[in-house]
Amino acid sequence: MVLGLIELALLLLVLTAIGTVGWALWNALRSGTAGALPARQRAELSAAIAGARWLPAHDEVDGATRVLVQKVYTGLDGRPVVLDERVIESFPARDPAWEARFTESMSAARYRCEYLNAEEAQ
């Protein structure tokens, strides 16, 4: 009889520990998503994302110049945040006609940004 009570007590202790860990994880996950920012900052972030605009950009990756368009908004820290990017053209950085290709590609990127921003404004 005493052995049965000890087994029952151990079982209840294990179930209580599992329940406590589960409850703690549930609360941590819940507060880690929606509660990460105060309501005012969430509203500011939402408005900033809604106002994101397409902008022309360029970079160099593995010896190739990429001309691209990026959908950007200003984050709460004041820095730009890229939501999406699309490559318009990529060409070798050592291309003899680099300057002409770059100028034409950036022109195409600016045009594409105007088009995408106009489409999203409707």
Model confidence over 29-51: pLDDT tens digits? 766 555 577 888 889 999 999 99
**Same domain flag for 56 and 111:** yes
- Which domain covers residue 110, as residue numbers? 52-121
**Same domain flag for 19 and 60:** no
Residue 93 lies in a domain: yes
> Residue 83: its pLDDT value, please?
94
Side chain identity at 90, as an amino acid letter? Answer: S
**Same domain flag for 28 and 81:** no
> Angle 49-89-86 (CA atoms, 0-180°, nearest 5)?
20
Residue 41 lies in a domain: no
Q: 64-91, pLDDT tens digit by residue?
A: 999 999 999 999 899 999 999 999 999 9
Looking at the structure of the chain, the number of domains it has is 2
Asked whether residue 13 carries a pLDDT value surpassing 90, the answer given is no
Torsions phi, psi for 55 (to 5 deg): -135, 145
Residue 106 lies in a domain: yes
Residue 45 lies in a domain: no
**Same domain flag for 32 and 70:** no
**Same domain flag for 17 and 67:** no
